[in-house]
Structure 1
């Protein structure tokens, strides 16, 4: 069949590769002048540092199949994300761990003592947390909430934690050990030469053609058997029902001679500090050596038309609009919506790849059976 994939990020590349290997002809288009979507990387001309252009992407997964898949196309180097935060005039390690607790409270607690101590600070009158704030107060108490959660969350989401659902803090990041590895996953790393060469290797197949700087036009669908759409779900329908809400990021670049902050990611928990974090990109490639350094201050805000969407908001109003778009999508033949934007869900890279592989399998099964391909392989609601 002839397949059109809109978007040359992880979803489009992986689905395209799987379908090309199955014998289909795949055309992939992207409005941007580069492949790899938001995980695009490139060398900084001034310093030679490998830059994560749209913010840092750290690969971590427990899915051994996905780990094996990405290692087919790139050499992954060991990397563990060890985040720090500046709060109330001091630096602490994240996620909150035994060192953080002992530093913050000036104690020398052992794990069992720390667990009991934190429980004594918690608001045990909250039996069923409904909001982000209630969730945090119930599990860590007011001091840690004020230092590490309240200000950062207000800056990241642009509203009070009392307006956010408790589900945002699904697993409160508190550890009663000195382990400060940000992720729990078995497999963690970074592609040695960046994500863009990895995506280029995935796209390197004789049945795949890639057209960059190319916007989608509805008549393109008439020349193919099926379309996979990894752009914004509402964008496919020209926002006819309204725009789904996103948070976006603004980046303020600055350089430094030497080492600016000694770590890849420094969060800023205080509300008075406007940035949510500073990222120093040479620390994402610790196997390289660079005298100069490039850093980015990150500022979160509501996405406007023309902005790069990052985080789907998915509060009550957005979910209601999403349900309308899902109904519209399911009544539209010949197109399947995939990825973070196409399903309006925040997805890590490993989940994006796994869902792309499953989507290709579903398409192959539907083609064999002569069935219509579903608008969604993953439930977006």
Structure 2
């Protein structure tokens, strides 16, 4: 009987473990250095308020891939949820992503969809033909005023550097709509698991042939000889003991607050002003509107560089990082019984649905 080792109990590792256990007669060991399964998608009940909290920040499941949607729904009841993000700039509340309401409110106009599209074309920077960075992409896309209001300060706080130092590709994920649609996502399927994300992982990893060991670090001293194959979902630079240097990530930390009733009236509110030290506040009871709670819990989210021992969130992928990554990848190609997958092992920003899709394709 084959034995597999899976390093990491987030979605990448859990999908591969579930598929292997369902389709093969094998034994699977899943290890994770954290004290829980689920990776950054881990959720738990807040002790004081009983609100279901996304411990590492908000996770709204959204995808247009029906295979991924059908797969995840095997392990949970997914309740439809529309993420309507608001952003505060100079004490005014606006809708995000930028839509017709945002444009009309910001410029104090009453433009029709066609008029708004033409207006944005007029104020965008037409001199930038091939944007080389985030700032140029934004100026070409929406012009100086909207960029300075909604992206400059927020981006500088989130990434810890001038937007002109970031690649243009980051902004390509942010839509502008010329109607009043304030749904933050444009994917077909959107929802929140009724019983939280941790319950999904518990079901995915419930097969008797899957063993889970938490608080277990994978390093050079780990005995791998008894395993037919190892699926590694941890940081690629850590696997090679940082021999080419650390890849840079941004991480986040949270300041918890508690109140009675409703604190801010919305699940997520961004703070675009550079002077506000946090990037956003999320109030988790709004992610589960089917539940009723007298108390509420909210979190102010701060962004910082990732230091040793901290959880990496967003790969920065700056020029120096990509040079290091290329060296690490050449070392990966030399390994015969390892597969690297997921956000950390491939040093890419991936949403939950993309992680699941990649793991399913890998198994197939």
Cα separation, partners in 2 of 1:56 and 1:172, compared to 1, 3 Å: closer
Q: Runs of 5+ in structure 1 lacking a partner?
A: 362-381
Matches within 5 A, 1:221-236: 221-236=224-239
The question of 1:7 aligning with 2:8 is answered yes
CA distance in 2, matches of 1:190, 1:333: 39
Question: What residue number does 2:345 align with?
Answer: 342
| Alpha-carbon contact 1:136-1:172 (below 8 Å) kept | no
C-alpha displacement of 1:220: 2.2
CA distance in 1, matches of 2:152, 2:36: 37
Q: Runs of 5+ in structure 2 lacking a partner?
A: none
| Alpha-carbon contact 1:11-1:338 (below 8 Å) kept | yes
Question: What residue number does 2:180 align with?
Answer: 178
| Alpha-carbon contact 1:190-1:285 (below 8 Å) kept | yes
Question: What residue number does 1:61 align with?
Answer: 63
Question: What residue number does 2:146 align with?
Answer: 144
CA distance in 2, matches of 1:346, 1:123: 28
Question: What residue number does 1:365 align with?
Answer: none
| Alpha-carbon contact 2:219-2:239 (below 8 Å) kept | no
CA distance in 2, matches of 1:66, 1:332: 29
CA distance in 2, matches of 1:301, 1:85: 20
Question: What residue number does 1:289 align with?
Answer: 292
CA distance in 1, matches of 2:47, 2:357: 34
Report the secondary structure of 2:186's partner residue: coil
Question: What residue number does 2:116 align with?
Answer: 114
Report the secondary structure of 1:96's partner residue: coil
Cα separation, partners in 2 of 1:171 and 1:40, compared to 1, 3 Å: closer
CA distance in 1, matches of 2:223, 2:84: 45
Report the secondary structure of 2:59's partner residue: coil
The aligned length equals 361
Question: What residue number does 1:352 align with?
Answer: 355
C-alpha displacement of 1:87: 0.5
Question: What residue number does 1:265 align with?
Answer: 268
Runs of 4+ in 1 over 2 A off after TM superposition: 217-220
Matches within 5 A, 1:310-329: 310-329=313-332
CA distance in 2, matches of 1:132, 1:309: 22
TM-score, length of structure 1 as denominator length: 0.93
Question: What residue number does 1:16 align with?
Answer: 17
CA distance in 2, matches of 1:256, 1:72: 36
CA distance in 2, matches of 1:100, 1:360: 43
CA distance in 2, matches of 1:235, 1:24: 28
CA distance in 2, matches of 1:9, 1:313: 21
Deviations 1:111-170 (A, max 9, x none): 001111111111111122111111111121111111101000100111111111211111
Question: What residue number does 2:128 align with?
Answer: 126
| Alpha-carbon contact 1:245-1:313 (below 8 Å) kept | yes
CA distance in 1, matches of 2:190, 2:39: 21
| Alpha-carbon contact 2:151-2:272 (below 8 Å) kept | yes
C-alpha displacement of 1:217: 4.0
Report the secondary structure of 1:73's partner residue: coil
C-alpha displacement of 1:315: 1.1
CA distance in 2, matches of 1:210, 1:163: 41
